[in-house]
């Protein structure tokens, strides 16, 4: 399955939003995730977090941030959760960036297991 996460930092409302999208149904063959169109992805869920909770979790480290970001509705597997948390940390560390878009393809996980 191919997934996309859109991470948005809203300073005006002191919130962080994470939107999860995925390609459901027939997968486009031989297309790099970065050239897939938005209409290939279906919206799955959106989680909104209070900024102070995220800042507190960041100060406690990556594991604490992953725990804060995971919810019953948004519970990415460990490799994805780590990348999402690292991106959130980078957003909160940056003065310019206010959003990030991450693409994941489960086939990449299979490749890592087969190579290992």
Per-residue confidence (pLDDT) for residue 106, from 0 to 100 = 85
Distances (CA, A) of 33 to 29, 38, 59, 87: 10, 11, 32, 18
Per-residue confidence (pLDDT) for residue 1, from 0 to 100 = 84
pLDDT digits (tens, 9 = 90+) for 71-114: 999 999 999 999 999 999 999 999 888 999 999 988 877 755 55
Distances (CA, A) of 103 to 16, 50, 61, 116: 18, 24, 23, 22
Spell out the domain ranges in the chain: 2-115
Q: Where are the alpha helices (DSSP H) in the chain?
A: 51-60, 62-69, 78-93, 106-115
| Poorest-pLDDT segment among 17-21, 37-41, 92-96, 108-112 | 108-112
Per-residue confidence (pLDDT) for residue 87, from 0 to 100 = 98
Q: Among 41, 52, 47, 57, which residue's Cα sits nearest to residue 89?
A: 57
Per-residue confidence (pLDDT) for residue 110, from 0 to 100 = 74
């Amino acid at each position: 399955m191919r997934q996309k996460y859109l991470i948005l930092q809203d300073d005006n409302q002191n919130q962080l939003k994470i939107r999860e999208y995925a390609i459901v149904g027939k997968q486009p063959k031989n297309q790099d995730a970065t050239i897939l169109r938005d209409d290939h992805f279906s919206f799955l869920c959106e989680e909104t977090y209070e900024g102070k909770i995220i800042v507190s979790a960041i100060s406690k480290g990556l594991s604490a941030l992953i725990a804060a970001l995971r919810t019953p509705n948004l519970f990415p597997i460990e490799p994805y959760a780590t990348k999402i948390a690292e991106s959130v940390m980078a957003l909160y560390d940056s003065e310019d960036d206010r959003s990030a878009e991450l693409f994941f393809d489960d086939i990449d996980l299979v490749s890592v297991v087969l190579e290992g």
